[in-house]
Amino acid sequence: MPLTEQQAAEIAAARAERAETSRPTVPALEALLFQPLPVLDHGFVRVIDYMGDDAAIVQAARVSYGRGTRRVSEDAGLIRYLMRHRHSTPFEMCEIKYHVKLPIFVARQWIRHRTANVNEYSARYSILDREFYLPAPEHLAAQSAMNRQGRGAVLTGDEAAHVLGLLRDDATRSYDHYIEMLNEDEQGAPRDPGRPGLARELARMNLTLNTYTQWYWKVDLHNLLHFLSLRADAHAQYEIRVYAEAMLETVKAWVPIAYKAFLDYRLGAVTLSAQMLTAVRRMAAGEVVTQADSGLNRREWAELMAALARSA
């Protein structure tokens, strides 16, 4: 994801600015501020601003006047308790703002999380860049026969090359027609001064969903962790999962105690239904339990066996 000279200069200028503050800051996240973390072929995630830290979670939970004098181990114990028992409001006291560049089809998945403030690049006002997402060969897969939302075997050879060619050609042709309808070049200058161009708000309808867009996305820590629990999961679509994984690294730098509790109690944990828990208790008591007498359907049984690292 190469930056233009202008973009690099803007980032350098932002990082060079200093502002005196009495509020808590986090050195590890300060080091990441404004820097683009590359995602996919042209995308990125950047932290633009943040408020709060691990101590702010503790302060809100205790409703104390300051950061307190308790030991870090006691703060960690409280944060882990809050995470374990899903007490959400102390985590809502921390907020973070990201600048994200992502393909339009990923943005349409992402926007379903209606718990953030979003402002997207306007193609009614500006011209979108000539940048399209093209999957790496190892991520170009057929439809799964078992999961209507998932992928199956990876395409190879001529078939993979043909599909990539179609994706590239369609995106390029659609963008060329987009520019032609606008009658503007990519800098906004008229290509044919004697011919009126189509309105930008209409011309954009021709673009393919792998075209890149950008937005600012501001969210509190509680809702960010909910987003990450779904989108950083191994079952999430690869193209949004890699954004979640990049954001996880920023959370690790920002609130390391909350991050570790999140890994332990949310991302690395499983939830058992009452019937699943009964089956596990029977197994722990030495009973041989099968799917037929477990009270679970086949999918639930398979999920339980996967969680227990047993064969179904």
Active site residues: 231
Residue 261, CB-side half-sphere exposure with 13 Å CA sphere = 24
Q: Which stretches of 23-71 are DSSP H helices?
A: 27-30, 54-62
Of 281, 282, 283, 275, the C-alpha closest to 301 is 275
**At residue 31, what is the residue type?**
A
In this structure, are strands 212-220 and 95-103 parallel, antiparallel, or unpaired? Answer: antiparallel
CA-only gyration radius of the chain, Å:
24
Cβ partners under 8 Å of residue 86, min gap 6: none
Interatomic CA distance for residues 15 and 109, integer angstroms: 31
Interatomic CA distance for residues 149 and 91, integer angstroms: 31
Question: How many whole angstroms from its chain centre is CA 228?
Answer: 6
